[in-house]
A and B are shown apart, each in its own frame.
Chain A
C-alpha cells in the first residue's frame, strides 16, 4: 500500500504540467503532510496538543535564509543549522511545559508561537520585519536548492514526506515509541514501571521541533519570499499543522497524509472560488468548516479519518500532577 502510493506519487507529474498549479498544490500537500507527521510525534504519540509548532517552522525558514543571505551558505547546511536551532528551541520550551496537559499545554505552546511571531516582527534587523524577506537568487541546482520550476520541489517535498513518515513509523515501533505511548496513556503508570517521562517528552519534542524546522527551509526555498506572519503565524502554520494531523487521524502514520490532502485541497478550493473577491473570505470559510466539522462530529474530528478507530481517552483537565 505505501509502496503503491509512493509509486503513484512518482508517476503523477508525468501527466501534468511541470510548472502548473496542480503540481504546486500537490507539492504543498506533501510539505504540510510532512509537517503534520512531525507534529504527530508529539501530538499523536504523546498526545500533547501543540499549537506552537510555527515557532520551529519559522526558526528553520529564517535560519537557512539568513545563512544564505549573509554567507552564501547552501540551504542544505541552513537546513541542518535550522534543525539544530529548532530542536534546541523545542527542548527549551518543553522544559517548563512538559508537565502540562490538555488545554494548559495548548495555551502555553500557542503563546510561545505568538511570542516568536511578535519578536520576529519586531527584530527587523534579522528578519526584515513585517516587510518580509526574499530568498536570494542562486543559479538553479540541487546544491543551492534553487530551481526554475516547481517540479523539483514536488519531488523534494515527497522525499521529505517519505523521510519524516519513516522517522515517525520507526519511532512508533521502537522502544522509544513504546515509552512515548505509555506516557500518553498514563504518565504515572509509565513512571512506576521505569519510564523517565520527562526525558521521553523532551526527546520527542526535540525530534519534532528539529524536523519541523528543517521543513521550514524547504518552504522558504520553495516560496522565495515570506514574512513573520507567514511562517510564525498561529492560523496559517501552528493550527493548520495540528489540524491536519488531527483530522486525518492523530497518532497514525496515514493520518497527516490524509489530513493534508483534505485540508490543503479544501483551502485551495476555497481560495480559487472565493479569494479573488475579498480578503478574509476564504479564511472565514475555513473557520466555518472547522466549526461545522466539530459540531457534526464532536467526539473526534478523528472519526473522519478512516484509519482511525481509537476511542479518545480524555485526560482530566489538570495542570500538573
Chain B
C-alpha cells in the first residue's frame, strides 16, 4: 500500500492526575485505510480518540494531520481541518429531529438552507433518509449509531473516528454497518474504528493498532496482530477463551 500517511502520532502522552492514560504512542495512519484500534478496557482507546479530536490536550508529543500539528487546537478547529469522531455514549440532541442533529455538522461548511440539503444527503448515505423527521430520542439503538455516523459525515471529514458504533448491534446490523464503513472508505475516507467485537475488527480492518495501559503494543496486519505474543497475553488470550 503506497499511500502516504494522512495522520502521524509521534510520542503522544496524556496524563490525568496520577494516571498515565497514554504514554509515548506513535503510529501512522495511511490515507484511505480502515485502521482498527484494540485493547482491553482502560487501555486508552477512548482517551486516544478524544486526544486526536482535541477534547483532551496531549501533554507530550505531536499529532500531525497531513503534516499539521493538531496539539493545542480546539475540537472545532480540528473538525474544520477534516477530523471528527462519533461518541461511544451516543451524544445526539434527543429533543430535536434526526435531520437537525445532522444539520449541525453540515453547518461547518455550508449556510443553513444548503446545510439541510447536505444533511439529508448524509442521512441517505447511511440509509436513514426515511426517518429524517423522527425525534432523535425515539430512535432505536442501531438507528442512533447511524445518525451519529451521518452527523460526523456531514462535516465532510477526511478522516473519521468511529467509537464503538457496532456496540449493541446484532449480527445482521453489524454486517450492514461494516458494509457502510467499507463504502465510506471507497468514497475516499480514512477510518479508525474502536470496537470490542474482535471478529468484526478482523474482518473490517486493513491494519490494527493494539494498546495496553496507554502504551502501544503492536501495529500490523490483522493476522500479525492475532499472533503477536504481547497482544495475545494482554487481550486476545482472554477474548478467545470466551
Chain A residues within 8 Å of B, Cβ to Cβ: 174-175, 178-179, 181-182, 185-186, 188-198, 310-311, 313
Partner of A191, one of B76, B103, B107, B115: B76
By size class, the interface of chain B is 20 to 34
Q: Is B55 an interface residue (CB 8 A)?
A: yes
| Chain B nearest Cβ from A197, distance in angstroms | 7
- Segment 49-82 of B: residues with Cβ below 8 Å from A: 53-55, 74-76, 79-80
Q: Is the CB of A175 within 8 A of B111?
A: yes
Q: Is the CB of B112 within 8 A of A197?
A: no
**Bound Cα distance from A35 to B178, whole angstroms:** 52
**Bound Cα distance from A182 to B101, whole angstroms:** 8
Q: A174-B112, A185-B93, A192-B79 given. 19 additional CB < 8 A pairs?
A: A178-B107, A178-B112, A179-B104, A181-B93, A185-B95, A185-B96, A190-B104, A191-B74, A193-B84, A193-B104, A193-B105, A193-B154, A193-B155, A194-B76, A194-B105, A195-B104, A311-B95, A313-B94, A313-B95
**Bound Cα distance from A186 to B55, whole angstroms:** 13
Q: Is B85 an interface residue (CB 8 A)?
A: yes
| Chain A nearest Cβ from B110, distance in angstroms | 9
Minimum-distance CB pairs A-B, first 8? A194-B108, A189-B91, A194-B79, A191-B75, A185-B93, A193-B105, A186-B91, A182-B104
| Chain B nearest Cβ from A101, distance in angstroms | 16
Partner of A178, one of B87, B103, B152: B103
Q: Is the CB of A192 within 8 A of B84?
A: yes
Q: Is B100 an interface residue (CB 8 A)?
A: yes
Q: List 29 A-B contacts (CB under 8 A).
A: A174-B112, A175-B111, A178-B112, A179-B104, A182-B93, A185-B94, A188-B55, A188-B87, A188-B91, A189-B87, A190-B104, A191-B54, A191-B55, A191-B75, A191-B76, A191-B79, A192-B75, A192-B152, A193-B104, A193-B108, A193-B154, A193-B155, A194-B107, A194-B155, A195-B76, A195-B108, A196-B76, A311-B95, A313-B95
Q: Is the CB of B93 within 8 A of A186?
A: yes
Q: Is B31 an interface residue (CB 8 A)?
A: no
**Bound Cα distance from A319 to B121, whole angstroms:** 38
Residues of chain A within 8 A (CB-CB) of B54 are 191
| Chain A nearest Cβ from B234, distance in angstroms | 29
Chain A's closest residue to B93 (CB) is A185
| Chain B nearest Cβ from A164, distance in angstroms | 22
Q: Is the CB of B55 within 8 A of A179?
A: no
Number of A-B contacts (CB under 8 A): 76
**Bound Cα distance from A179 to B79, whole angstroms:** 15
Residues of chain A within 8 A (CB-CB) of B154 are 193
| Chain B nearest Cβ from A307, distance in angstroms | 14
Q: Is the CB of B96 within 8 A of A197?
A: no
* Given A185-B94, A191-B75, A310-B95, CB of A175 within 8 Å of CB of B115: yes
Q: Is the CB of A179 within 8 A of B107?
A: yes
Q: Is the CB of A178 within 8 A of B104?
A: yes
**Bound Cα distance from A198 to B91, whole angstroms:** 19
* Given A175-B111, A175-B112, A178-B112, CB of A192 within 8 Å of CB of B85: yes
Residues of chain B within 8 A (CB-CB) of A190 are 104
| Chain A nearest Cβ from B85, distance in angstroms | 6
Q: Is the CB of B100 within 8 A of A193?
A: no
Q: Is B207 an interface residue (CB 8 A)?
A: no
**Bound Cα distance from A185 to B80, whole angstroms:** 21
Q: Is B151 an interface residue (CB 8 A)?
A: yes
